[in-house]
Amino acid sequence: MAPAIATPIWFITGCSSGLGRAAAEEVLARGWRAAVTARRVESIEPLARKYPEAALALTLDVTRPAQISAAVAAAERRFGGIDVLLNNAGYGYQASVEEGEEAQIRALFDANVFGLFALTRAVLPLMRRQRRGHVFNISSVSGLSGFAASGYYAASKHAVEGWADSLAVECNPLGIRVTCVEPGPFRTDWAGRSLQRTPSAIADYADSVGARMRQTEGYSGKQPGDPRRAARLIAELSQHAQPPRNIALGARAVQMGALRLKAKLADIERWAPEGLRTDYED
């Protein structure tokens, strides 16, 4: 693999707050260059004023294809390429599976899945031309393990995880690396501004979905994860000669992710003799 670039060019989505904002600040403070994006560009203009030579503030709603094309083209014009794509834009949605609303579910997938896919497709030609690049996808512990009230959010993150597996196989030979980052609870406004919800009215779900929603309501501002430390780690991984395909952030993500994956492996191994009986005998 080629040595790390001294002043890499980043493209970061969802920079108005939370992990995206922390990542933008970390990258720019290191003297690297970055296209920082948000749906409301005024929320990130202070970054461009603070780092006028290194930062390019752009309007970007990843659900709008025209804005994707314009933002990637602007970054290429300004910097000449993109070395690291940090797919951070997205939001949460809580509902029981039974009570999930069609419009809410489709909007969630437009942002968390289809928008992420479309932006990556727009950036990949630049990375292929360079024969280098790194795509970071901010997934979630919910991309490894589902929780009550988070079925559709977990589904959106599982979709990104599976897609990223294929992307890595296709792009590793081209010098393009892929990492899924699976945070647990971090002290951002995800549970406030970035969380949509369909309250559960079915009594049978009170102890599962209802309890989970109540827990989330009381947790904002008390999460153990530090966005600045996460941003620092992601920046460090971008310079690593052999970056991970997956990295869980925080004790909850590490513990819950490992437990779920071990349980899946145990099921596969336990039922392997039965599963193997379904092949043709020849």
Mean pLDDT score across all residues of the chain: 93
**pLDDT of 140 above 80:** yes
- Clarify whether 157 is annotated catalytic: yes
- Name the β-bridge partners of 121: none
For residue 183, being part of any structural domain is answered with: yes
| Strand runs labelled E in 32-87 | 33-38, 55-59, 84-87
Which of the following is catalytic: 16, 17, 139, 150? Answer: 139
For residue 97, being part of any structural domain is answered with: yes
The predicted model gives 91-95 an average pLDDT of: 95
The predicted model gives 126-148 an average pLDDT of: 95
Which tokens in the block code for residue 163?
Answer: 């897609």
The predicted model gives 143-166 an average pLDDT of: 95
For residue 24, being part of any structural domain is answered with: yes
Residue 27: domain span = 9-276
Which of the following is catalytic: 16, 153, 156, 200? Answer: 153
- Clarify whether 219 is annotated catalytic: no
Give per-residue pLDDT as tens, 258-282: 999 999 999 999 999 999 999 998 8
Closest CA to 115 of 159, 158, 63: 63
Greater model confidence, 141 or 100:
100
With bands split at pLDDT 50, 70 and 90, how would you rate the model's confidence at 189?
low
Q: Give every CB contact of residue 262 below 8 A, 6+ residues apart in sequence.
A: none
What's the CA gap between 257 and 182, in Å, rounded? 9
What's the CA gap between 14 and 101, in Å, rounded? 24
Give per-residue pLDDT as tens, 247-263: 999 999 999 999 999 99
What's the CA gap between 172 and 97, in Å, rounded? 36
For residue 4, being part of any structural domain is answered with: no
**pLDDT of 138 above 60:** yes
Tally of structural domains, the chain = 1
Residue pair 131/175 in contact (Cβ under 8 Å)? The answer is: yes
**262, exposed or middle or buried, with CB in 10 Å at 0-12, 13-18, 19+?**
exposed
3-state secondary structure 122-179: HHHHHHHHHCCEEEEEECCHHHCCCCCCEHHHHHHHHHHHHHHHHHHHHHHHHCEEEE
With bands split at pLDDT 50, 70 and 90, how would you rate the model's confidence at 1?
very low
What's the CA gap between 85 and 134, in Å, rounded? 6
For residue 178, being part of any structural domain is answered with: yes
- Clarify whether 153 is annotated catalytic: yes
Instruction: Give pLDDT, residue 191.
Output: 58
Residue pair 63/115 in contact (Cβ under 8 Å)? The answer is: yes
Q: Quote the DSSP letter at residue 98.
A: T
H or E segment to which residue 197 belongs: strand 195-197
Q: Give every CB contact of residue 169 below 8 A, 6+ residues apart in sequence.
A: none
Give per-residue pLDDT as tens, 148-158: 999 999 999 99
What's the CA gap between 252 and 145, in Å, rounded? 11
The CATH number that applies at residue 178 is 3.40.50.720
- Please report where in the chains the tokens 């597996």 appear, as a residue: 165
For residue 1, being part of any structural domain is answered with: no
Q: Give every CB contact of residue 234 below 8 A, 6+ residues apart in sequence.
A: 23, 26, 86, 136, 181
Give per-residue pLDDT as tens, 43-75: 999 999 999 999 999 999 999 999 999 999 999
- Name the β-bridge partners of 94: 197
Give per-residue pLDDT as tens, 197-251: 999 999 999 999 999 998 887 666 677 778 999 999 999 999 999 999 999 999 9
Closest CA to 136 of 176, 170, 175, 169: 176
What's the CA gap between 187 and 29, in Å, rounded? 21
Closest CA to 11 of 51, 55, 46, 52: 55
Which of the following is catalytic: 16, 93, 152, 157? Answer: 157
- Name the β-bridge partners of 253: none
For residue 282, being part of any structural domain is answered with: no
For residue 31, being part of any structural domain is answered with: yes
What's the CA gap between 217 and 145, in Å, rounded? 20
